[in-house]
Amino acid sequence: MENPEKALEEARQAGIDLDLLDSNLALPVKERWRQHDGALAFILKLEEAKRKHDAGLQSVTREAR
């Protein structure tokens, strides 16, 4: 990388939160995996709730519209 400062500034301008990246990278790997697993479990619960919700919806035929 020829100009790391330029790359960092471009990342900031693109909206990347470099402070958040730094704070996450300061965590031990085991903690980052724990957080990842928690977020994944949450997403899977949301997806399951959506499937259950959608299963309860009635489809509408064109004639009924």
Q: Give yes or no for a contact between 8 and 18, defined as CB atoms under 8 angstroms apart.
A: yes
The alpha carbons of the chain give a radius of gyration, in whole angstroms, of 21
In the chain the first and final C-alpha atoms are separated, in Å, by 59
Say how far apart CA 58 and CA 13 lie, in whole Å.
46
pLDDT at 27 over 80: yes
Mean local confidence (pLDDT), 19-33: 97
Residue 48 has which token pair? 């399951």
Q: For tokens 């990246």, what's the residue?
A: 21
| 58 band by pLDDT with thresholds 50, 70 and 90 | confident
| 55 band by pLDDT with thresholds 50, 70 and 90 | very high
